[in-house]
Amino acid sequence: MPGKRRSHQEILAVLQRIGSGENVEKVCRELGVSTGTYFRWKSKYDGMDKSELARARQLEQENARLKRILAERDLEIDAMKEVLQKKW
């Protein structure tokens, strides 16, 4: 399924299956994962256990949240600067 978010167990299972010698394209096709996604997972998560993978994904989510907060704050600052620069 395109766009489906995979669990930690599913990601580790894919990495382990392919790491044990199964064909990349075959496993990806069976599980509905693109080979690009597999190689991205491999570069990010290969060698991690379940708890390390969970922590890495948690940190990625927190990073995305903080980036959104920062972007919103920057927009608010720009809006305040614009208001303050107007001559009343």
Q: Are 3 and 33 in contact (CB under 8 A)?
A: no
What digits encode the pLDDT tens for the residues 20-78? 999 999 999 998 999 999 999 999 888 888 889 889 889 999 999 999 999 999 999 99
29 HSE (CA, 13 A, CB side): 5
pTM for the model: 0.59
Residues in contact with 5: Cβ distance below 8 Å, sequence separation at least 6, in sequence order: none
Q: Which domains does the chain have, with CATH numbers?
A: 8-85 (1.10.10)
